[in-house]
């Protein structure tokens, strides 16, 4: 099974200059916990609900002035739609990430692979193993 068989196709993206408050509203409206950040059609980062909580709120910054660029995770781990799903799962386990952007060879977003997507398409045993690995406390 390939990533393209499991992933959620298409995704809402924002620019680096998008205010954090707008990103949080989009997350609520789209019922998602992460929004990719694009510049010149290429993925340059991702803002997660955790990024907003830990980097914007907990750091006591001025939320009204903060943008995606201020809080985003810059070194985004991605996969290809043609990757084997097992490789993507191993990547998510090793990096302890819940969402994996799917990009083409030009770093253009084509979708998102999440724990939820995987849990609906792979065996309960494999999805359970992955959930335990990804949800473990960071060292």
Residues 6+ positions from 64 with CB-CB distance below 8 Å = 19, 21
What are the residues facing 39 on neighbouring strands? 42
Mean pLDDT per 10-residue section of the chain, whose length is 139 residues? 90 94 94 91 90 79 86 93 92 88 88 86 59 56
137: DSSP letter: P
> What local confidence, expressed as pLDDT, does residue 126 receive?
54
Task: Kindly list the structural domains of the chain, giving each domain's residue range(s) and its CATH number in brackets, ordered by start.
Answer: 3-135 (3.10.580.10)
Tokens of 28: 């609520």
Question: Under a CB-based contact definition with an 8 Å cutoff, are residues 46 and 35 in contact?
Answer: yes
Name the pTM for this structure: 0.80
């Amino acid at each position: 099974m390939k990533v393209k068989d499991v992933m959620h196709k298409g995704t809402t993206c924002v620019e680096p200059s998008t205010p954090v408050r707008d990103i949080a509203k989009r997350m609520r409206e789209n019922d998602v916990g992460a929004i990719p950040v694009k510049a010149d059609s290429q993925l340059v980062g991702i803002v997660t609900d955790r990024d907003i909580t830990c980097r914007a709120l907990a750091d006591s910054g001025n939320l009204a002035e903060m943008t995606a660029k201020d809080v985003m995770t810059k070194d985004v781990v991605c996969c290809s739609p043609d990757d084997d799903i097992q490789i993507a799962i191993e990547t998510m386990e090793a990096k302890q990430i819940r969402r994996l952007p799917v990009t083409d060879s030009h770093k253009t977003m084509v979708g998102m692979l999440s724990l939820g997507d995987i849990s609906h398409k792979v065996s309960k045993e494999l999805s359970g193993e992955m959930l335990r690995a990804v949800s473990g406390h960071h060292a």
